[in-house]
Structure 1
Amino acid sequence: MLAVVFPTPYVNRSLRIASRSAITLLTLSAPGRTIYGTIAGLAASSYAEFPYTSDDNAWFRMG
């Protein structure tokens, strides 16, 4: 299990999660903000990137 708490956001900030091995249980949280496109796991040799958008006060998944 891996738990990731998103950092304090600011304009143009992005969070990237990457792994060489598969992650089968992943928990994401961003206190006071919304995460769109949250994931519960990550395939081996892959990544997910979440840029922050201040207009929506939210993180959106890319990748």
Structure 2
Amino acid sequence: MLVHSFTGFENVLGVDYFCRIPEALRREGATVDIARVNPAQTTEFRGEELVQQLQQWAARP
């Protein structure tokens, strides 16, 4: 799982935040999930968003 830092972005001016890391990990056989949390909220708020996503991912078949 990849999670961007405070003020992180998905894509700015054609530049992906995680660059080529997800693709490289997938090529090696890893399952890669990229969390989407509000980049401008508090750590606590972002943590709650992340917990919700983790629970959703854990419930996948």
Under a length normalisation based on structure 1, what TM-score does the superposition of the two structures give? 0.27
Rg: which structure is higher? 2
Q: Which protein has the bigger strand share?
A: 1
Under a length normalisation based on structure 2, what TM-score does the superposition of the two structures give? 0.27
